Copies of this chain bind each other. A is one copy, B any other.
Amino acid sequence: MTGSYLKGRIRREDIITATVAVYAEAGYHGSSLREIARRVGITHAGLLYYFPTKEALLAAVLERRDAEDTERERLSVPPGLDALRRLVALAAHNMRHPGIVDLYARLAAEAVTVDHPAHEYFEQHYRMARGYAVESFRALAARGELRAGTDPEWAGLTFVALMDGLQVQWLSNREEVDLVGSLRFYLQNLLTVPLDQDQP
Protein backbone atom coordinates (compact mmCIF):
# COMPACT_ATOMS: atom_id res chain seq x y z
CA MET A 1 0.00 0.00 0.00
CA THR A 2 1.80 3.12 -1.15
CA GLY A 3 1.58 6.61 0.24
CA SER A 4 -0.17 7.92 -2.80
CA TYR A 5 -2.75 5.14 -2.60
CA LEU A 6 -3.47 6.00 1.03
CA LYS A 7 -3.63 9.66 0.16
CA GLY A 8 -6.12 8.91 -2.56
CA ARG A 9 -8.36 7.12 -0.10
CA ILE A 10 -8.54 10.04 2.29
CA ARG A 11 -11.74 11.54 1.22
CA ARG A 12 -13.07 15.00 1.87
CA GLU A 13 -15.90 13.44 3.86
CA ASP A 14 -13.51 11.71 6.25
CA ILE A 15 -11.91 15.03 7.08
CA ILE A 16 -15.28 16.63 7.74
CA THR A 17 -16.27 13.76 10.06
CA ALA A 18 -13.06 14.11 12.08
CA THR A 19 -13.57 17.87 12.25
CA VAL A 20 -17.05 17.52 13.74
CA ALA A 21 -15.54 15.32 16.49
CA VAL A 22 -12.77 17.83 17.21
CA TYR A 23 -15.23 20.74 17.31
CA ALA A 24 -17.41 18.84 19.76
CA GLU A 25 -14.45 18.39 22.09
CA ALA A 26 -12.57 21.67 21.77
CA GLY A 27 -14.97 24.07 20.05
CA TYR A 28 -14.16 25.88 16.83
CA HIS A 29 -11.78 28.37 18.41
CA GLY A 30 -10.01 25.66 20.37
CA SER A 31 -9.43 23.50 17.31
CA SER A 32 -6.54 23.56 14.87
CA LEU A 33 -5.95 22.16 11.40
CA ARG A 34 -2.89 20.34 12.76
CA GLU A 35 -4.97 18.46 15.33
CA ILE A 36 -7.61 17.62 12.73
CA ALA A 37 -4.93 16.36 10.31
CA ARG A 38 -3.52 14.20 13.11
CA ARG A 39 -6.93 12.61 13.73
CA VAL A 40 -7.46 11.84 10.07
CA GLY A 41 -3.94 10.47 9.87
CA ILE A 42 -2.66 12.83 7.19
CA THR A 43 -0.08 15.60 7.16
CA HIS A 44 -0.92 19.22 7.74
CA ALA A 45 -0.01 19.92 4.11
CA GLY A 46 -2.28 17.06 3.03
CA LEU A 47 -5.19 18.61 4.88
CA LEU A 48 -4.49 22.03 3.34
CA TYR A 49 -4.82 20.41 -0.09
CA TYR A 50 -8.52 19.81 0.66
CA PHE A 51 -9.19 22.77 2.95
CA PRO A 52 -6.78 25.69 2.60
CA THR A 53 -8.12 27.47 5.70
CA LYS A 54 -9.75 26.73 9.02
CA GLU A 55 -12.78 28.66 7.83
CA ALA A 56 -13.12 26.67 4.61
CA LEU A 57 -13.31 23.50 6.68
CA LEU A 58 -15.89 25.08 8.96
CA ALA A 59 -18.01 26.04 5.96
CA ALA A 60 -17.88 22.40 4.80
CA VAL A 61 -19.04 21.24 8.25
CA LEU A 62 -21.99 23.64 8.09
CA GLU A 63 -22.88 22.58 4.56
CA ARG A 64 -22.97 18.96 5.62
CA ARG A 65 -25.12 19.91 8.61
CA ASP A 66 -27.61 21.57 6.30
CA ALA A 67 -27.73 18.47 4.13
CA GLU A 68 -28.28 16.24 7.18
CA ASP A 69 -30.98 18.54 8.55
CA THR A 70 -32.79 18.46 5.24
CA GLU A 71 -32.61 14.67 5.20
CA ARG A 72 -33.61 14.13 8.85
CA GLU A 73 -36.58 16.46 9.02
CA ARG A 74 -37.44 15.84 5.39
CA LEU A 75 -37.32 19.58 4.76
CA SER A 76 -37.77 18.81 1.10
CA VAL A 77 -41.54 18.61 1.72
CA PRO A 78 -43.41 21.36 -0.13
CA PRO A 79 -43.68 24.67 1.72
CA GLY A 80 -46.71 24.81 4.04
CA LEU A 81 -47.85 23.97 7.56
CA ASP A 82 -46.05 20.65 7.58
CA ALA A 83 -42.81 22.37 6.54
CA LEU A 84 -43.11 24.83 9.46
CA ARG A 85 -43.77 21.93 11.85
CA ARG A 86 -40.60 20.26 10.62
CA LEU A 87 -38.60 23.41 11.25
CA VAL A 88 -39.89 23.37 14.84
CA ALA A 89 -38.90 19.68 15.06
CA LEU A 90 -35.45 20.69 13.80
CA ALA A 91 -35.18 23.24 16.63
CA ALA A 92 -36.14 20.49 19.11
CA HIS A 93 -33.43 18.27 17.63
CA ASN A 94 -30.88 21.09 17.96
CA MET A 95 -31.69 21.46 21.67
CA ARG A 96 -30.36 17.94 22.13
CA HIS A 97 -27.12 18.95 20.37
CA PRO A 98 -26.05 22.24 21.97
CA GLY A 99 -22.46 21.93 20.69
CA ILE A 100 -23.41 22.37 17.07
CA VAL A 101 -25.93 25.12 17.91
CA ASP A 102 -23.16 26.97 19.75
CA LEU A 103 -20.80 26.62 16.83
CA TYR A 104 -23.44 27.74 14.37
CA ALA A 105 -24.50 30.80 16.38
CA ARG A 106 -20.93 31.90 16.90
CA LEU A 107 -20.00 31.55 13.26
CA ALA A 108 -23.16 33.28 12.05
CA ALA A 109 -22.22 36.31 14.15
CA GLU A 110 -18.58 36.25 13.00
CA ALA A 111 -19.60 35.85 9.37
CA VAL A 112 -21.66 39.03 9.08
CA THR A 113 -18.64 40.87 7.65
CA VAL A 114 -18.44 40.48 3.87
CA ASP A 115 -14.78 39.39 3.92
CA HIS A 116 -15.41 36.44 6.26
CA PRO A 117 -14.92 33.06 4.53
CA ALA A 118 -18.34 31.84 5.67
CA HIS A 119 -20.16 35.06 4.75
CA GLU A 120 -21.48 33.78 1.46
CA TYR A 121 -22.61 30.53 3.05
CA PHE A 122 -24.68 32.31 5.69
CA GLU A 123 -26.11 34.86 3.28
CA GLN A 124 -27.29 32.02 1.04
CA HIS A 125 -28.43 29.91 3.99
CA TYR A 126 -30.57 32.71 5.39
CA ARG A 127 -31.97 33.59 1.98
CA MET A 128 -33.02 29.97 1.40
CA ALA A 129 -34.48 29.65 4.89
CA ARG A 130 -36.44 32.89 4.50
CA GLY A 131 -37.68 31.82 1.08
CA TYR A 132 -38.85 28.45 2.40
CA ALA A 133 -40.64 30.09 5.34
CA VAL A 134 -42.25 32.79 3.19
CA GLU A 135 -43.50 30.18 0.70
CA SER A 136 -44.91 28.18 3.62
CA PHE A 137 -46.87 31.17 4.92
CA ARG A 138 -48.07 31.89 1.38
CA ALA A 139 -49.36 28.34 1.10
CA LEU A 140 -51.16 28.76 4.43
CA ALA A 141 -52.69 32.04 3.24
CA ALA A 142 -53.95 30.35 0.07
CA ARG A 143 -55.74 27.75 2.22
CA GLY A 144 -57.21 30.42 4.49
CA GLU A 145 -55.13 29.14 7.39
CA LEU A 146 -53.16 32.36 7.93
CA ARG A 147 -54.80 35.05 10.02
CA ALA A 148 -56.40 37.74 7.86
CA GLY A 149 -54.10 40.69 7.15
CA THR A 150 -50.89 38.75 7.88
CA ASP A 151 -48.20 39.38 5.27
CA PRO A 152 -46.41 36.09 4.43
CA GLU A 153 -43.18 38.00 3.67
CA TRP A 154 -43.00 39.51 7.15
CA ALA A 155 -44.10 36.27 8.78
CA GLY A 156 -41.31 34.32 7.05
CA LEU A 157 -38.53 36.83 7.73
CA THR A 158 -39.59 37.09 11.36
CA PHE A 159 -39.81 33.31 11.84
CA VAL A 160 -36.27 32.67 10.60
CA ALA A 161 -34.79 35.52 12.65
CA LEU A 162 -36.64 34.25 15.69
CA MET A 163 -35.17 30.75 15.32
CA ASP A 164 -31.67 32.22 15.37
CA GLY A 165 -32.23 34.73 18.14
CA LEU A 166 -33.79 32.10 20.38
CA GLN A 167 -30.82 29.79 19.93
CA VAL A 168 -28.41 32.37 21.34
CA GLN A 169 -30.67 33.14 24.30
CA TRP A 170 -31.29 29.48 24.96
CA LEU A 171 -27.55 28.77 24.93
CA SER A 172 -27.08 31.61 27.45
CA ASN A 173 -29.74 30.39 29.83
CA ARG A 174 -31.31 27.00 29.21
CA GLU A 175 -33.56 27.10 32.26
CA GLU A 176 -35.33 30.33 31.44
CA VAL A 177 -35.61 30.09 27.66
CA ASP A 178 -37.99 27.59 26.06
CA LEU A 179 -36.89 27.62 22.45
CA VAL A 180 -39.49 25.27 21.02
CA GLY A 181 -42.30 26.76 23.11
CA SER A 182 -41.52 30.23 21.82
CA LEU A 183 -41.52 29.11 18.19
CA ARG A 184 -44.85 27.38 18.72
CA PHE A 185 -46.26 30.52 20.37
CA TYR A 186 -45.17 32.59 17.38
CA LEU A 187 -46.62 30.22 14.80
CA GLN A 188 -49.89 29.52 16.59
CA ASN A 189 -50.42 33.24 16.87
CA LEU A 190 -50.41 33.60 13.09
CA LEU A 191 -52.55 30.56 12.30
CA THR A 192 -56.31 30.17 12.17
CA VAL A 193 -55.91 26.40 12.65
CA PRO A 194 -54.25 24.47 15.49
CA LEU A 195 -50.52 24.03 14.86
CA ASP A 196 -50.75 20.38 15.83
CA GLN A 197 -53.85 19.35 13.90
CA ASP A 198 -53.45 16.43 11.54
CA GLN A 199 -53.03 17.34 7.96
CA PRO A 200 -55.89 16.26 5.73
Complex Cα gap A70–B154 (Å): 28
A113 at the binding interface (Cβ < 8 Å): yes
Contact between A161 and B166, CB atoms less than 8 A apart? yes
A22 at the binding interface (Cβ < 8 Å): no
Complex Cα gap A113–B26 (Å): 12
The main secondary structure of chain A at its interface with chain B is helix
Contacts A154-B181, A158-B186, A189-B189 given; does A173 touch B102 at CB 8 Å: no
Q: Which of B119, B155, B172 contacts A111 (CB 8 A)?
A: B172
A126 at the binding interface (Cβ < 8 Å): yes
**Which residues of A, 178-198, contact B by the 8 Å Cβ criterion?**
178, 181-182, 185-186, 189-190
Q: Which of B164, B177, B185 contacts A165 (CB 8 A)?
A: B164
A55 at the binding interface (Cβ < 8 Å): no
Contact between A182 and B154, CB atoms less than 8 A apart? yes
A89 at the binding interface (Cβ < 8 Å): no
A169 at the binding interface (Cβ < 8 Å): yes
User: Looking across the interface, which residue of chain B has its beta carbon closest to that of A177?
Assistant: B157
Chain A 100-133, CB within 8 Å of chain B: the 1/0 string?
0010011011111100000100110011001000
User: How extensive is the interface on chain A, given as a class?
Assistant: 35 or more
Most buried by B among A119, A147, A157, A171: A157
Q: Which of B27, B109, B171, B189 contacts A168 (CB 8 A)?
A: B109
Q: Which residues of the other chain, B, contact A105 by a CB distance below 8 angstroms?
A: 109, 112
Chain A 15-47, CB within 8 Å of chain B: the 1/0 string?
000000000000100000000000000000000
Shortest CB-to-CB span from A125 to chain B, Å, is: 9
Contacts A109-B105, A110-B106, A181-B154 given; does A165 touch B161 at CB 8 Å: yes
Report the 8 A-B pairs with minimum CB-CB distance, sorted nearest first: A165-B165, A112-B171, A161-B165, A154-B185, A109-B109, A164-B165, A161-B166, A106-B109
